A and B are shown apart, each in its own frame.
Chain A
Amino acid sequence: MSEKLSLPKQLLYQAICLLIAFTVLFPLLWVVSLSLDPRDIARPDEFRLIPPGASLNAYQEVLEQPTANPVSFAELAFNSFRLAAGVAVFSVLIGVFAAYAFARFGFRGRRGLMLGVITVLMLPSVATVAPLFVMLNRINVNIGDIEFNLRNSLWGVGLALTSSALPFAIWNLKGYLDTIPRELEEAAKIDGAGPNQTFFLIVLPLAIPALAVTAFLGFLSGWTEFIMSWQFLTNPKDFTLAMSLWNMTGQFSGDTPWSKFSAMALMVATPVAVVYLLLQKYIVSGLTIGSVK
C-alpha cells in the first residue's frame, strides 16, 4: 500500500482534520483570548484571539490574589503541591510492596485481598465523603502549641485522598509488574539472591517508569482534587488551586472576573498538562492494563 493519496482526497481529509482540530482548540483559544483581555469585562462582547490592548495584567492579578480571600497564588499552589506530592509519594512507596506481593507470590488469601482492593477501586471518592468527614472530624491533633482539627486541615484531606489513591497505585503497579518477564528474577534466584534482594535490585529498578507514571497520576488527582477539600476545609489559608478556581466562577456571569478566571484556569492546567504530554505514552497503556485485568 505505498501508493500516494490523490490530491482531492488529501484536501478533503485535511479539511476534516482541520475542522476537528478547530473544535478541539476552540475552548482553549477562547480562554487564552479572555485571559489577555485587559478590561476584565463581565461581558466579552466580540470574538478576537488577541483582544485590543492585550496585556498580562490578569496573570499578575492572579499571582497576587486570585480570589477575595487574602491568599496569593503561590500559597494556593504550595497547598495543592504539598497535598498532591504527599499523596503521590506515600501511595507509591507503600503501594509498590503490595503490588509486588500480588504480582509474584502465590499465597493464601490472595484472591480475597485482591477482591478487596478492586472493590475499593470501584467506589468513586464521592461515596466515601460522609464517613471520612465524620471520622476525621472527631480527631483533634494536639502537638505542643500546634492544635488543629484533622478534618479541617490539609493532613486530613491528604489522608482522605490516600484512601483511594493507594488502592489505585497497588492495582496500576501490579498491572505493570505482571508484564515484567520473570526470567531475570529466576536467574537472580539461581545466583542465590533472596526475595528481598530480587525485589530491591532487580524488580524495583525495572519498575521505575511505572513508579513515575503512577506517582504522576496520584499527583494529578491531588492537584485537581475538589470533592474532599471543598467539603473539609474552611480556612482560606488551607485552600487549594482547584477550590479557588471554582470560587471564581460566580453564580451569574456578572460575578465572574472573566480575565482573571481564564488566567487562573490556564495557570492551573498548564504545568500538569505539560507533564502529562511527556508521560502520555505510558499513561494510556497503564490505564488500559489497569482496566483489563
Chain B
Amino acid sequence: MKKSRLNVLVIEDNELNRYLLTFLLEHRGHRVRSATDGPAGIALAKALLPDLVLLDIQLPTMHGYDVAATLREVESVGNIPIIAVTSHAMAGDRENALAAGCSGYIEKPIDPDTFVDEVESVCWQSPDMESS
C-alpha cells in the first residue's frame, strides 16, 4: 500500500540546496528532516527510521557512497530506499551510486517541476514500501 505522506531524510551539505529540497518535498506534503554530513545523517537515520533518504554524494568528512554503504549494513535502516542526488556526473557515477546501495540517482541541477515525482516513483517502486 502506498504511503502518501513520506518521512524523508535529506543529507546535503549545501544550505541552499538543502532548503530547496526541503521546500519542494514539504510543498507536496512530505515531512522532511535534514543532516549536513554523513555521520550526522547516519545517526539521524537510525533514530528516525525515515521512509526515504535523499543523499548528496559530495559530502564533507564522509563520501556519499560510504554513507550509503554504511546505511545498508545497519539492520534497522538497511532496506530504506536511498536516492543519490549528485552534481558529480562523471563516467560511471550512476553505476557507482547503484553499486554503493542507492536505489535511484537524480542528477543536479534538479528540475523543480519533476523532482518530487521522480523521488516518489523511486520510493513507491521500492519493495520495502509495499509492506509498510
Chains A and B come from one and the same complex = no
Contact residues of B with A, CB < 8 Å?
Answer: none
